[in-house]
Amino acid sequence: MFANFYQDWRVLVHKGRIGTMENTDRLIVALDVPTTEQAINVVDSLGDLVQYYKVGMEAFYGMGHAVLAQIAGRGKKPFLDLKLHDIPTTVARTVTTLCQFSPAFLTLHAAGGSNMLKAAIGAAEDWAGKTSQPRPKLLAITVLTSIGERDWVEIGYQSPIRESVLRMSVMCKEEGLDGVVASPREAAAIRALCGPDFLIVTPGIRLVPEEQGDQMRIATPSQALKVGANYLVVGRPIVAADNPREVVASILNDMKASGQ
Ligand code: C5P
């Protein structure tokens, strides 16, 4: 299955449907920092090298939505990673509230189930219809890249992580989500099942395995692109570096080397 998929994938790349984006438009830097000052320092120091910034729980709870305006004010695109997971009505109302901050992407947990996903996409589309503004792209978290097989069994899941990720991805596609956040290890199979237009965003990206930290399922930038990721999320290797620009340049080089 993987061999067939890989061939199909190469055909799509050659037809120009995929792989035409600039690498600077495919790297998302996770701004996992506690203060606006630190966040803005990172954005300013990376300048034109990066267009997307991921604002997660730490930044959003600590700084509020003002940080999104700061990012947008610098011509950058915010990726709002709040990993929503609640009853459908609560998630739908939250999506409506968050749409007004115009994030490029918004995340929610696929584990919230198909009714929650349906409610979320419905709310985003209603908001777009009422305001005539583009809605954020909705991405579902499948299984966190920090979760290993042992953790997965411990929580009570019986099918292997890979099978669960694939099942969740198909459910998300059927409910009309724009894509998923998943480990590079599962990206090729998701691509094969969900088609060329379904977005795959992969965290767990490391240039060197020694920087793995709490991530269990990691890959290099070029490996992630080769298996079909549209966007890569990188946090600590960039944000905690002495010279973040140098790390981003190495990541962009590695992305380029993938030929994708
Ligand atoms: O620092 P690091 O590169 O590991 O950051 C990865 C980022 O991606 C973190 O902000 C984390 O919350 C997020 N993420 C993840 N795994 C997922 C979904 C999101 O690591 N499955």
Domains plus CATH for the chain?
Answer: 5-254 (3.20.20.70)
What is the predicted pLDDT for the residue at 6? 38
What is the predicted pLDDT for the residue at 86? 98
Mean pLDDT for the chain overall: 90
Cα 33 to averaged position of ligand 1 atoms, centre (Å): 13
User: What's the Rg (C-alpha) of the chain?
Assistant: 18
- How far is 116 from 106, CA to CA, in rounded Å? 14
- CB-defined site of ligand 1, < 6 Å: 30, 32, 54, 56, 141, 144-145, 181, 203-204, 213, 215, 233-237
Q: Which residues are catalytic?
A: 83
- Ranges of H-type helices in 100-183: 114-131, 149-155, 161-174
**Could you write out the DSSP letters of every residue in 133-155?**
SPPPEEEEE-S-TT--HHHHHHH
Q: Residue 3 above 80 pLDDT? A: no
pLDDT tens digits, residue range 136-164? 999 999 998 889 999 999 999 999 999 99
pLDDT tens digits, residue range 173-222? 999 999 999 999 899 999 999 999 999 999 999 998 777 787 777 899 99
Q: Residue 95 above 50 pLDDT? A: yes
Contact (CB, 8 A) for 31 and 42: yes
- How far is 255 from 26, CA to CA, in rounded Å? 9
Cα dist. 230→27, 37, 188, 202 in Å? 9, 30, 11, 8
Reported pTM: 0.89
Contact (CB, 8 A) for 141 and 108: yes
pLDDT tens digits, residue range 100-133? 999 999 999 999 999 999 999 999 999 999 999 9
Which of 50, 145, 208, 218 gets mutated to test ligand 1 (max ligand atoms within 8 A of its CB)?
A: 145
> Which residue's CA is the nearest one to ligand 1's atom 21?
144
